[in-house]
Amino acid sequence: MRHSFLLSFALGAGWLLSPEALVIGGNTAGNMGWLAIASLAGAALLLSISGNLLNPSQRAAEHDNNYRLLRYMTGTLPAIGLTLASSIPLVILAATALLVTSGYTFNEVFLYWFPNFGFSFLLLALLTLLQFFPEKIIFRTQICFVLLTAGALLFLALSGIAGTEPPVYEVLEQPGSFSSASSVLMLLLFTGSTSGVKPKHPCLVPIAGLVIFSLWILASLCYVNPERLASSTIPYMTVARTIMGEPGRQIMGVAIISGTCGAITGLMFMCRVMLAEVATVHNGNNLLSATIQRWVFPLLVALATGILMAGGLAGDELLETFLRGALILWLIHHSLLCLSAILTNYRAHQTVPPAGAMTTALFIAAVFILIVTNPQRNEITFFILSMLGTGGLIPAIWIVINKITGTRTTTQQTEKTL
């Protein structure tokens, strides 16, 4: 599915401009200093190369969507399981975390008397309602969300850089500290940027992300102590308040709420596209029909998100751990897609693209680094394995039911013929 230049950016950059992505960027800047920009550039380069590797124009006709490409290497059941595990948990957990963040932001920045969870549930209801509108409306709204967020971040960053004392170049002269664990986190900023969105220029979102976050990291390092950036749970608000005071907090408040809306809408679209690819291949008229994807799936996501928020997961450290695990699952899915693209290319042309092979190897290495270096590695490993197991169990049951139903239908048709 190809889109216009602006819409491709809006759909691919939803998570990139989310509050959680700003936390990752701010903490990494605090840990690495200006070297965070170099790591960001490396991540953008890898995503650009992989986006070009996964470009449908470079594939054979039998691998025209990502699911078919993945199935070529893993087989049907693992491909469906990984598709489900890398999309549905991410949407639900990201929505839970982001909506709670927006609720607290609205309460603390704009209206102290408005309940923070009340705003979170109100925003959840509005974003769910948006999914029932025609796609044209959803796309235009998504463009507004993303442009508003990007505009607010750029305004704050450029205002800070223009008014900083000492000059910005002195930040670049300060010693940086390289960390592989922090560096690979930059890959997670681009989650969903290539899933379901097939622009003419695969490097669009990575380049835009590099520009926006480089400016934001520079402004952050100019105004806030690196140790404070590294340890803060809301580094973006600290930076905004330091740059422009109360107006800065309000501008960042708008960016957080619009960024939440853009991230959830973008991830919902990504998930629906991934499910539609499975349904297209397997003629999923029952479980994954277009009607269910459009009318039932948003309600199920909203219900699951509401239960998690009401159940108290939003205030638990496990939410951050599970969300990190869901992001790693997306990176696993993306890595295997790249590996499958290399295998199909080798089968067709007896050659392996060097840049694509190196990028895929780095993605796979990044997955292991993200798991091993995480303080909650046991919990993340358990979560990933659980989601993969659940993702594989659902299609296994579906396939068995379809076989039984198909056998009964064939038997009934034979009896009628006789």
Residue pLDDT, tens place only, 178-205: 888 888 999 999 988 876 555 566 788 9
Q: What is the 3-state secondary structure (H, E, C) of the chain?
A: CCCCHHHHHHHHCCHHHCHHHHHHHHHHHHHHCCHHHHHHHHHHHHHHHHHHHCCHHHCCHHHCCHHHHHHHHHCHHHHHHHHHHHHHHHHHHHHHHHHHHHHHHHHHHHCCCCCHHHHHHHHHHHHHHHCCCCHHHHHHHHHHHHHHHHHHHHHHHHHHHHHCCCCCHHHHHCCCCCCHHHHHHHHHHHCCCCCCCCCCCCCHHHHHHHHHHHHHHHHHHHHCCHHHHHHCCCHHHHHHHHHHHHHHHHHHHHHHHHHHHHHHHHHHHHHHHHHHHHHHHHCCCCCCCHHHHHHHHHHHHHHHHHHHHHCCHHHCHHHHHHHHHHHHHHHHHHHHHHHHHHHHHHHHHCCCCHHHHHHHHHHHHHHHHHHHCCCCHHHHHHHHHHHHHHHHHHHHHHHHHHHHHHHHHHHHHHHHHC
Is pLDDT of 248 > 90? yes
By mean pLDDT, which of 50-59, 176-185, 300-309 is the weakest? 50-59
Q: Report the pLDDT averaged over residues 290-307.
A: 84
With bands split at pLDDT 50, 70 and 90, how would you rate the model's confidence at 417?
Answer: very low
Higher pLDDT, 256 or 199: 256
Mean pLDDT, range 216-231, rounded to an integer: 90
Q: Give per-residue pLDDT as tens, 269-279.
A: 989 888 888 87
* Residue pLDDT, tens place only, 100-132: 999 999 999 998 889 999 999 999 999 999 999
Mean pLDDT of 240-248: 92
For residue 283, what pLDDT is reported? 61
pLDDT over 90, % of the chain: 51
- To the question of pTM greater than 0.85 for the whole model, the response is yes
Q: Given this model, what pLDDT does residue 290 score?
A: 64
Domains and CATH numbers, the chain: 5-400 (1.20.1740.10)
Average pLDDT over residues 274-285: 74
pLDDT bucket at 418, cuts 50 / 70 / 90 = very low
Does position 93 have pLDDT exceeding 90, yes or no? yes
Say yes or no to pLDDT of 365 above 60.
Answer: yes
